[in-house]
Chains A and B, each alone.
Chain A
Amino acid sequence: MRSAFLTYFRLIAADIRSQLGYPVSFLLETAGAGLIISMYFISLALVFQRFDNIAGWTLGEVAFLYGLIEMGFGTMDMIFSGFDPQFFGQIVRRGGFDKILLRPQSLTLQVLGSSFVIRRLGRILQGVVIFLIALSMVEISWTPVKIIYLPVVFASLVCFFGGFFIIGSTITFWTVESIEVINILTYGGSEMMSYPMHIYQDWMRRFFTFIVPAIFLNYYPALYFLDKPALQELPYFAPFLSPIAGFGVLFFALRFWRFGIRHYQSTGT
């Protein structure tokens, strides 16, 4: 096990070194990626001068949600780069997965180690900035429980999104082409989770509660942190289900991944 992790860290260290080969281009891309994604938030903030709230939430409160999701998704996108369905789909298509299967190391760690896109720091950083803006705009009454629970929600978010990357990659065993529809759950999901969920239609919210448990990772915890009232009666423990939803999705995804590996047929490339 120790040697497996050692291999993993060697792999990503090599990948990071190669990405830093062109430092100027790296810095530009990182700053650019962060800036582009903050455009969404900038445009929302500019428009907020005309509307002073969105369904009862102030800009600062939306920024809390937005920053949290961006940090979570960005971190996941960096750690799980190897499982990015677009990247992994290409490996499967070109027969690269056969090579991985031949090596006497954990498959999951090898795939995780195959890529670690540090350019994503740009996205994480803009998430941090938005989150700090939120903290300066909203008066949060911090309690010890809230301070301990915040990193838990963050870790759960990373696992949650990571689970969808793994599921998307596993599907490419059968489809070979990376299926872009999974983007609805990953990129679409993160976009949707950046806003208070009560703005969506009932069917959408139900889907993202009972089928994809996204609501437990953004909306319910945010209600708790910001002391906002829920629109309908919620059980008192609803905000605390984040780890169950987040780690649960990752657990399910890993089971599906194992199932996929057992049924993997090479493209013969």
Chain B
Amino acid sequence: MSLLWEVAKLAMQRQLTYRAATLAGLLTNFFFGLLRAAVLVALFGTSQEVAGLTIQGAITYTGLTQAVIAYLSFFGWFEVMDSVYSGEIASALLKPMSYFSFWLGQDLGRALVNFTLRGLTIMGLYALVFDLTVPTHFSQWLALLATLILSWLVSFSWRFLVNLSAFWTPNARGIGRFAFGLTWVLSGFLMPLRFFPEWFIKLCNLTPFPSMINTVVEIYLGVLESHEVIQALLVQGLWVVILVVAAHLILRAGTHRLVIQGG
């Protein structure tokens, strides 16, 4: 555990050096947020509430989703893949910790920095421009904290799993792009999940993707009853377990057939 934290601290230091990239990413996320807010406001038109979401809630939703992009590396993450192809994986496998935990630690550091520097800042910028919804009860904040941690765990284990395809194919980037692209719609990132037709929501709920974005959004906005909140958190937890177990099984199968090329 302390080893994991050391890895995370190093990753944080590394992440903190990308200052220009952080600023650029921040501005881009914010600009896209403004566009998405304008689209939702125009869609709402004169209606005050659609599918249980107020217009204020919908605007807040665009802020939240833009704020977690960097925290969850939502647009794509290919680091494990790259380390398999470059052969760096060899030294990582020799480390006195499991390969999964090694990357979990790295991603923890990366996520913490991005949560603070990009996530919180975007919400701050949003608050300057829009009138945002803010959770009111202490229990809601507590649930928010839990769901944020769980969403990161779901997201990380999914990304890790996708990256493991590099063990089987020499060009897994296409698979990765496709797998990450799939999450954009199914997680409720592009549009709030509750705006979709019933059958589509059911389809999404069969996947782990709503546990990355939609649950966080709905808990933050307070549109769930308290028993629904607990249920949503349990579903997130269940996906963490499933994905982590799957990642370990596939990782074991992958390392057995791994051939390090070059050096």
Contacts and interface: CB of A to CB of B under 8 A. Distances in A.
Contact residues of A: prevailing secondary structure: helix
Contact of A40 (B25, B175, B190): B190
Contact of B34 (A51, A179, A204): A204
B43 A35 contact: no
Given A32-B178, A43-B190, A50 B51 contact: yes
A209 interface: no
B195 interface: yes
A14 interface: no
A53 B45 contact: yes
B178 A36 contact: yes
Interface in B23-51: 24-25, 27-28, 31-32, 34-35, 38-39, 41-45, 50-51
A137 interface: no
A150 to B, nearest CB: 25
Contact of A181 (B24, B51, B178, B196): B24
Contact residues of B: prevailing secondary structure: helix
Interface residues of A, number: 35
Contacts of A46: 191, 195-197, 200
Given A35-B178, A188-B31, A204-B34, 9 more contacts: A32-B174, A39-B184, A46-B191, A180-B28, A181-B24, A183-B28, A192-B35, A199-B42, A201-B38
Interface residues of B, number: 36
Contact of A180 (B21, B181, B182): B21
Contacts of B178: 28, 32, 35-36
A46 B193 CA distance: 10
B1 interface: no
B35 A54 contact: no
Contacts of B196: 43, 46-47
Contact of B191 (A44, A179, A181): A44
B42 A54 contact: yes
Nearest to B184: A39
A28 B24 contact: no
B14 interface: no
A51 B175 contact: no
A194 B138 CA distance: 41
A28 B172 CA distance: 10
Contact of A29 (B38, B42, B50, B177): B177
